[in-house]
Amino acid sequence: MLIAHRIALDPNNVQTTYLARAAGVARFAYNWALAEWQRQYVASQADPTLPAPSQFALRRQLNAIKREQFPWMLDVTKCAPQMAIIQLGEAFKNFFAHRTRYPRFRRKGVEDRFTLTNEQFRVDGKRFYIPKLGWVRVREALRFTGRIVSATVSRRADRWHVSITVDATEASLPPAENQGVVGIDFGVSVLARLSTGEQWRGPKALRSLLDRLRSLSRSLTRKVKGSRNRERARRRLARLYARIANIRRDGLHKLTASVTRRFHTIGIEDLNVKGMLANRRLARAIADMGFYELRRQLSYKAAWRGGHVVVVNRWYPSSKTCSCCGHRLEELALETRSWTCPGCGVHHDRDVNAAVNLKNMAMSSIASACGGNGSGPVREHGTKPVPVKQEPSGKS
Catalytic residue among 47, 185, 270, 331: 185
Q: Is 211 a catalytic residue?
A: no
Q: Is 124 a catalytic residue?
A: no
Q: Write the CATH number for 311.
A: 3.30.420
Rg value, the chain, Cα: 26
Residue-wise pLDDT tens digits, 231-255: 999 999 999 999 999 999 999 999 9
123 and 195 assigned to the same domain: no
Q: Is 290 exposed, middle or buried (0-12, 13-18, 19+ CB in 10 A)?
A: buried
Residue 387 placed within a domain:
no
> Counting every residue, how long is the chain?
396
Which amino acid makes up residue 76? V
187 and 259 assigned to the same domain: yes
Q: What is residue 218's predicted lDDT score, i.e. its pLDDT? A: 96
285 and 153 assigned to the same domain: no
Q: Provide the domain count of the chain.
A: 2
- Beta strands in 157-220, from DSSP E residues, in sequence order: 159-167, 181-186, 192-194, 199-200
102 and 193 assigned to the same domain: no
Residue 301 placed within a domain:
yes
Distance CA(53)–CA(33), nearest Å, equals 10
262 and 157 assigned to the same domain: no
Mean of pLDDT values over 340-353: 86
Catalytic residue among 111, 140, 167, 269: 269
159 and 24 assigned to the same domain: yes
Residue 210 placed within a domain:
no
Q: Is 351 a catalytic residue?
A: yes
**Residue burial 364-395, b: 16+ Cβ < 10 Å; e: rest:** bbbebeeeeebbebbeeeeeeeeeeeeeeeee
Query: What pLDDT band is residue 128 in, cutting at 50, 70 and 90?
Result: very high
305 and 262 assigned to the same domain: yes
Residue-wise pLDDT tens digits, 82-104: 999 999 999 999 999 999 999 99
Q: What is residue 371's predicted lDDT score, i.e. its pLDDT? A: 52
Distance CA(297)–CA(252), nearest Å, equals 8
Are 80 and 133 contacting, i.e. CB atoms less than 8 angstroms apart?
no
Enclosing H/E stretch for 349:
strand 347-349
Residue 393 placed within a domain:
no
Distance CA(311)–CA(358), nearest Å, equals 9
Can you say whether residue 275 is alpha, beta or left, with left for phi > 0 and alpha for psi between -120 and 50 degrees?
alpha
Distance CA(276)–CA(269), nearest Å, equals 14
Query: What pLDDT band is residue 297 in, cutting at 50, 70 and 90?
Result: very high
Q: What is residue 382's predicted lDDT score, i.e. its pLDDT? A: 37
247 and 104 assigned to the same domain: no
Residue 269 pLDDT > 80, yes or no?
Answer: yes
Catalytic residue among 68, 75, 270, 351: 351
Query: What pLDDT band is residue 154 in, cutting at 50, 70 and 90?
Result: very high
The Cα-based distances of 33 to 28, 72, 89 in angstroms read 8, 17, 9
252 and 320 assigned to the same domain: yes
375 vs 62 pLDDT, higher one: 62
Q: What is residue 370's predicted lDDT score, i.e. its pLDDT? A: 54
Q: What is the pTM of this model?
A: 0.82
49 and 189 assigned to the same domain: no
71 and 158 assigned to the same domain: yes
User: What is the residue range of 137's domain?
Assistant: 2-167
